[in-house]
Amino acid sequence: MKYYILFGPPGAGKGTQAKFIAEKYNLLHISTGDLLRKEMAAGTPLGLQAKKLIEGGNLVPDEVVVGMIRNTFSSNKDVNGFLLDGFPRTIAQAEKLDQMLAEGGEKVDKVLSLTIKDETIFERIAKRAQIEGRKDDADPATIQNRIDTYHAKTEPLIDYYKNEGNYCEIPGEQTIEEVFDCICKVI
């Protein structure tokens, strides 16, 4: 199995690129955002808890996200691997992922990090809110909180994965096709 992480701030284009990557390489795209939105739509206790946190621009607790990821890995064996989008977001989650994979003799193969400026994040998220009707994308204060949370809690993963030797930076302000071409060269 191959394990790739698609990394970057909100609005970097992870979801767009993930579709292309998953199709080309027969990977299961695991978007923690999509998994959480599914739980929220179903109105489960987990979904209701996640909805309150997400709408405030906060992250869902690690044990919830890790459990969802573990279940997804174990129930999907007919793919070449997995493309994680939105996980891990913290050093603690990265360590839990490494531990989970090591139990099966596996490891993260590559971290594909899409980089964009904060101004671009605001523009893209506002556009996404209009197109997809996502309430969590409509409020500027929520968007700023998500950006601040990304810088404070998620950016430290850059050094973590650089130390692991599997971190690759992809300039995310190019066209969709150019970004995808860069990703394919890395994979």
Separation CA 100–CA 9 (nearest Å): 24
Closest CA to 10 of 124, 180, 174: 124
Tell me which H or E stretch contains 108.
Answer: none
8 Å CB contact between 150 and 114: no
In 56-175, which residue ranges form alpha helices assigned H by DSSP? 62-74, 91-103, 118-132, 140-149, 156-164
Sign of CA dihedral 42, 78, 68, 164: negative
Tell me which H or E stretch contains 40.
Answer: helix 32-42
Active site residues: 14, 89, 128, 134, 146
